[in-house]
Amino acid sequence: MRTRLGRAQGRACGGWTLGAVKRSAALGLALAAGLVGQAHAEELAADQAAERAVEQLRTYSLEDLTNLRVTTVSKRAEPLIQAPAAIYVITADDIRRSGATSLPEALRLAPNLEVARINAYSYAITARGMNSAESANKLLVLVNGRSVYEPIGSGVLWQQVDVVLSNIDRIEVVSGPGGTLWGANAVNGVINVITKSAKDTDGLRVDGGAGDRQRNLALTYGGVLGGSNYRLSLQTFERDGLDKAPGDPTDDSFRGWQGSARLGGGSPSLGYTLVANAYDNRVGNDGGNLWGGDVMGRVFKTLSGGSRIDAQAYVASDDRSARDTHERRDTFNVQAQMASTFGAHEVVWGGEYRLWREYFLSTNAFHFADPRATISLGSLFAQDEWALRPDLKATIGLKLEENSYSGLDWLPNLRLAWAPSPDSLLWAAASRAVRTPNRIERELQADGFLAPSPDFQSETLWAYEAGARVQLSTRASLSVSGFYNVYNDLRIDAFTNGGLPIVLRNGGEGESWGVEAWGTFDVTPWWRLKAGLNTLRKDFRVKAGETDLARLQIAGMDPKYQAQLRSQMELGPSADLDLALRRVGEVTSAGVVGPVTPAYTEADARIGWRVRPDLELSLAGFNLLNDHHLEIDDHTTAPLRTIPRSVYIGLRWGF
Amino acid sequence: MPLALLGYALAVMLTVLAATPVSAQTDGLELAVKATYLYKLAPFVSWPASAFASPTAPLVICVQGAGPFGQILDRAVSGQAVGSHPVTIKRLARVDADSGCHIAYLAGGPGQSPAQALQAMEGLPVLTVTDEARGPAKGMVHLLLARGKVRFSVDAQQAEAGGVVISSKLLALAVAVKR
């Protein structure tokens, strides 16, 4: 059953994973203010961070000051994050040093994410469990505020998310529901990809390379137009198919191009950004074509009292065709929010509206009665950050969400942050999040075998979390967080009255809990170590009186632990050496004897040489420890692939 | 309801009109580090005896022009002293020989550019501090960003001309020294 449905869903969707991310979120500025989702006046935010910083910096010697990373492209160095959430920031420099050439590979840097590569183009990525191509449906992924989830199956099609990696300013990875200001479906986590503003990238830049498994080239050019800054980018890539079993005729090779233009300008009190993207990717020789584009505009204005208004709108069109399916999706989205301060209260409130016009045609047994559907969602939210005392802040938030499938949902959120000293922060949070039904769950049918499920409701989560962040010394910092998730109404496949057709029901429930920890340690001024760890335990079950024909496939396939260690060394003034070691525990599945995926250890290494101040050459090796290894075995949706060892020579010019 | 939201969002966007182009933002941590440098440099600099009216006279850090620090500089130096000299802040649109500065951060402004301020300070026992983010003119100490860290270069020639002695420790920490 599981295989049939899985394959059905896979075939219905062209054999690729599907993602659901429902709501565009607040802008990355939110985190600069130090509290998740809080969009303050940029100056106000910088001032607050700067105030706390000068206090801490009093104890620094002059030498310490010369060693302190302010990282030009990140809004803050790790020790000074104030958010009451488990948030990890991947900086542009981290990405460069890791040698990653695609967004999913860059996400491996976050110790609070599970990243499993399925094949050359496809990944299963989640936070806090429930991973797999089918069940990774609880992640909100945003690129510059545009949500890139896919309303058919509630997942993220990573092969349809093109970003020029060298344009990324930072990636904020929040594990857990994150907070009121993030969108619907921010259930297990939020990934917020923020690209550099046009004024930070001027002149011509080239970022490219070639290796035995991939070739990439990205060109960007930035300049000034009137009083604004612009940036034009063009990138192309090619990935060879990964290792497969002999006799397997499928081709997972992947290539594509993307072009984008960005225009931005303004002052600290009034500004705008305009972004346009277009992309065209191909899988295999005839495996499918993904193409589309989007246009996004954003404005902000600070008012005389210090309040700030942010508004954003985008229009996107994505087309995906494979052997027996064709999907076309048009997305319209507007959102706005206002942030103000009233005494000890920092209040943010706003709303969002999104409309999808979907067209999905399938020529196999699994189809929708009507290829066309219009799906909408709207939300209103408000959040108050109340400074109870100078060192104690409470955040109370509520979001009301309405979507055309399941009506109204209430999403409350409560967070507490206590700073016992300038160097430490303790926080705790309780929140409710929902994963709303998607098109497949509601409408997919195969005559006689699978019926549509109009009564399928949202899956719900109550998340309880707590954490601590400490600057142990001028050289070391540590962040630890723990969570206890209570899920309800999880999806199961059930018979109707004991026989076919199958319908989907909300018959599952369960709990998961775990710990996430990461830290940095500056062994010497030129050698920094970063370590990360996450653990996960799950207890999922079918509710009384229910049976799941898919055997709790929704619970996903997750390792009990993941650990990583990175070493960043500066070898003299012009060379970097980066080493990364990661260990992922085995993945077991209910009903299967032995591990579905064995535990593995892998290592990457990269050496970069700055030949001239504006020219860097690099040599990298990936997955060095094994000839090849398996990361996830989900052959119901895609043929099995193992990830091979590979090498890569890179070049960056103009940076 | 969706229509109302849509209307609201559009109204907001329409009230936000044409931008006025202006200066870049400096991020919070970078600003904090630069503010800290301004007083942390002082122990490694010697001024001629005539620079201080008395052993307990204040050590004055001047911010010339459109200083980006706001209150954080005052917060940074509150309660600080260099030897027996308490540290105070003075904000001026223009600096010259009568400004009474020991350290001058030349941010530049409508009244005086950093280059003009440097000219006005030439030969005076004032530690001039310029900032790469504010312009290319280089004073005795020039703050810059190198590999993600706030560093500085030193122009020992200018210091010598002004009668300001910069210790070798400071010279050692500089990314470049112009003699």
Residues of B in contact with A57 (CB under 8 A): 32-33, 36, 76
Indicate whether A34 pLDDT > 70: no
Highest mean pLDDT among A120-124, A132-136, A423-427: A120-124
pTM attached to this predicted model = 0.74
Q: What is the CATH number of the domain that holds A264?
A: 2.40.170.20
What's residue A474's pLDDT? Answer: 67
What's residue A179's pLDDT? Answer: 66
Indicate whether A539 pLDDT > 50: yes
Q: C-alpha distances in angstroms, B100 versus A207, B59, B62, B74, B80? A: 50, 9, 8, 18, 19
The rounded distance, in Å, linking the Cα atoms of A41 and A38 is 10
pLDDT band of residue A227 (cuts 50, 70, 90) is: confident
Do B28 and A48 count as a contact with CB atoms less than 8 A apart?
A: yes
CB A486 within 8 A of CB A467: no
DSSP, res A184: T
- Contact residues for A638 (Cβ-Cβ < 8 A; gap 6+): A10, A15, A16, A17, A118, A119, A122, A133, A252
Do B22 and A267 count as a contact with CB atoms less than 8 A apart?
A: yes
What's residue A15's pLDDT? Answer: 29
What's residue B147's pLDDT? Answer: 61
- For A38-51, letters b (16+ CB in 10 Å) and e give bbbbbbbbbbbbbb
Q: C-alpha distances in angstroms, A206 versus A209, A219, A261, A399? A: 10, 5, 16, 43
Q: C-alpha distances in angstroms, A352 versus A186, A337, B73? A: 15, 9, 40
Question: pLDDT digit string (tens) for B96-148?
Answer: 888 999 999 999 888 888 889 999 999 999 999 999 888 888 999 999 887 66
What is the percent of chain A where pLDDT is above 90?
49
Strands (E) across A164-287 are located at 168-175, 189-195, 203-211, 214-225, 228-239, 254-267, 270-283
Å from B17 to nearest chain A CA?
Answer: 8
Å from A339 to nearest chain B CA?
Answer: 13
Amino acid of residue A251: D
Highest mean pLDDT among A152-156, A222-226, B25-29: A222-226
Residues of A in contact with B32 (CB under 8 A): 49-51, 53-54, 57
Q: Say which of B72, B147, B150 has its CB closest to residue A50.
A: B72
What's residue A399's pLDDT? Answer: 93
Residue B147's region, left for phi above 0, alpha for psi from -120 to 50, else beta, is: left
Q: Where are the domains of chain B?
A: 26-178
Sequential DSSP letters for A467-494: EEEEE-SSSEEEEEEEEEEEEEEEEEEE
CB A157 within 8 A of CB A320: yes
Residues of A in contact with B8 (CB under 8 A): 336, 351
Indicate whether A522 pLDDT > 90: no
CATH code for residues B26-178:
3.40.50
Among A172, A143, A145, A116, which residue's Cα sits nearest to residue A279? A143
Indicate whether A371 pLDDT > 50: yes
Amino acid of residue A266: G
Rounded to an integer, the average pLDDT of A138-164 is: 89
pLDDT band of residue A49 (cuts 50, 70, 90) is: low
Do A376 and B2 count as a contact with CB atoms less than 8 A apart?
A: yes
SS3 B72: helix
What's the token pair of residue A518?
A: 């990461």
DSSP, res A553: G
Residues of B in contact with A80 (CB under 8 A): 29
pLDDT band of residue A6 (cuts 50, 70, 90) is: very low
The rounded distance, in Å, linking the Cα atoms of A569 and A578 is 6
What's the token pair of residue A200?
A: 């930070």
Which residue segment(s) compose the domain that A142 sits in? 4-339+346-654
What's residue B152's pLDDT? Answer: 93
Do B25 and A54 count as a contact with CB atoms less than 8 A apart?
A: no
CB A26 within 8 A of CB A336: no
Bridge pairing between strands A203-211 and A114-117: unpaired
Quick one: angle between helices B28-40 and A42-57, nearest 10? 40
pLDDT greater at residue A588 or residue B124:
B124
Indicate whether A4 pLDDT > 70: no
Do B9 and A51 count as a contact with CB atoms less than 8 A apart?
A: no
pLDDT band of residue A5 (cuts 50, 70, 90) is: very low
The residue with tokens 């599981």 is: A2
Å from B52 to nearest chain A CA?
Answer: 24
Indicate whether A137 pLDDT > 70: yes
Indicate whether A387 pLDDT > 80: yes
Indicate whether A335 pLDDT > 90: yes
What's residue B59's pLDDT? Answer: 94
Indicate whether A530 pLDDT > 60: yes
- Contact residues for A421 (Cβ-Cβ < 8 A; gap 6+): none
pLDDT band of residue A351 (cuts 50, 70, 90) is: very high
What's residue A47's pLDDT? Answer: 61
What's residue B9's pLDDT? Answer: 39
Do B5 and A71 count as a contact with CB atoms less than 8 A apart?
A: no
Question: pLDDT digit string (tens) for A153-206?
Answer: 888 999 999 999 999 988 989 898 866 677 767 889 999 898 988 877 888 999
Strands (E) across A444-560 are located at 444-445, 459-471, 476-496, 499-524, 527-535, 537-542
Average pLDDT over chain A, rounded to an integer: 84
Looking at the DSSP assignment, which residues form a beta bridge with residue A222? A203, A231
- Helices and strands (H, E) in chain B, number of each type: 6, 10
SS3 B112: coil
Rounded to an integer, the average pLDDT of A394-421 is: 90
B73's enclosing H/E stretch is: helix B71-77
Among A19, A115, A124, which residue's Cα sits nearest to residue A635? A124
CB A84 within 8 A of CB A415: yes
The residue with tokens 């930072």 is: A170
The rounded distance, in Å, linking the Cα atoms of A566 and A482 is 22
A400's enclosing H/E stretch is: strand A392-403
Å from B167 to nearest chain A CA?
Answer: 13
The rounded distance, in Å, linking the Cα atoms of A414 and A436 is 21
CA A207 to chain centre: 23
Handedness of CA A435, A439, A443, A444 (dihedral sign): negative
Do B149 and A267 count as a contact with CB atoms less than 8 A apart?
A: no
What's residue A583's pLDDT? Answer: 97
Long-range interactions of A518-523: CB distance < 8 A, separation 24+? A518/A88, A518/A111, A518/A112, A518/A478, A518/A479, A519/A472, A519/A476, A519/A477, A519/A478, A519/A479, A520/A78, A520/A476, A520/A477, A521/A475, A521/A476, A522/A67, A522/A475, A522/A476
What's residue A591's pLDDT? Answer: 65
What's residue B168's pLDDT? Answer: 84
Domain count, chain A: 1
Question: pLDDT digit string (tens) for A417-460?
Answer: 998 876 788 999 999 999 888 898 899 899 889 999 999 999 99
Amino acid of residue B71: Q
What's residue A26's pLDDT? Answer: 27
Residue of A nearest to B19 (CA): A266
Task: Find the length of chain B.
Answer: 179
What's residue A44's pLDDT? Answer: 53
Rounded to an integer, the average pLDDT of B60-89 is: 88
In the sheet with B81-82, reading across from the earlier edge strand, the strands are B81-82, B85-92, B59-65, B103-108, B127-131, B141-146, B149-155, B176-178
What's residue A70's pLDDT? Answer: 65
Question: pLDDT digit string (tens) for A249-284?
Answer: 889 999 999 999 999 988 767 889 999 999 999 998
CB A506 within 8 A of CB A441: no
SS3 A380: strand
User: CA neighbours within 13 Å on the CB side: how many for B13?
Assistant: 19
ipTM more than 0.85? no
Residue of A nearest to B35 (CA): A54
Among A461, A408, A410, A465, which residue's Cα sits nearest to residue A435? A461
